[in-house]
Amino acid sequence: MPLQNVMLHLKMSICRVGWKTHPTQIKKRKLMKKILSKSLQDIFSKDVIVFVFQIAAAAFALSGLFVWFFWGGLSSFIASYLSWIPWEWLQTSGAKVMTFGLAYMIFIIVVALLTSLYSEKLLIKLAKKHYPDVPVIGTADIVVSILLTLKASMIFLVLFILLLAFIFIPVIGQVVLLYLWSVLLREPTFYDVSALFISDKKVLKEKRKTTRVLAMIASLFNYIPVMNAFAPVFAQILFLHHILKEDS
């Protein structure tokens, strides 16, 4: 009987905890749906599409020039990285594929950098559209934005090289790529958006909590070759609605 009483008490405690946390979880899901809904509406608006087209064109030109000048060096570096593979034909073909993959990553990095530098007016316009009562209290420092983007890019490239073998494993590779792309987007995007509207460090700390998930959601665009230029600005729009959303 005592054991039965203990088990009954545990079940009742779990039920009470469940009832307490359940409304919070529902509220979080509703807020996330609102953020995604508003962000998807914005990402396909005329202003955003024109902005992304301009950024993509500039990024394609800049990354193309970089890869053209350093193609030989990139190929040699990747070939030496793959020197542990015993078959020469696999080293050669693998080096070519990975060089193209690295060139693609460089394009994504340049898109992220240009978006970080030139998106402020677009973000303010979207904020005025959805949250007209929220004031713009500051601006992102260009030097800080560049440094954060370069730092995130270096971490991204180092992790990309270290985790390269895992990328070719089905499912695991896709998760690894999403995480890597989120590393590239998260910190610079959070700074660029939050600097416009928030100065309170406690609020910033609270708002930062779910940004990893949002950055990974935005990174899904990178799986679509034509749509990958939308990933950084989609991350900014997601962060914008996350930061300015009403919790009521």
Nearest to 188 by CA among 241, 148, 142, 243: 148
Q: How far apart are CA 246 and CA 78, in angstroms?
A: 48
Which one-letter amino acid corresponds to residue 112?
A: A
| pLDDT tens profile 149-190 | 999 989 988 898 788 778 778 888 888 989 999 999 999 999
Query: Higher confidence at residue 169 or residue 195?
Result: 195
Boundaries of every domain in the chain: 45-244
| pLDDT tens profile 1-19 | 454 554 455 445 434 444 4
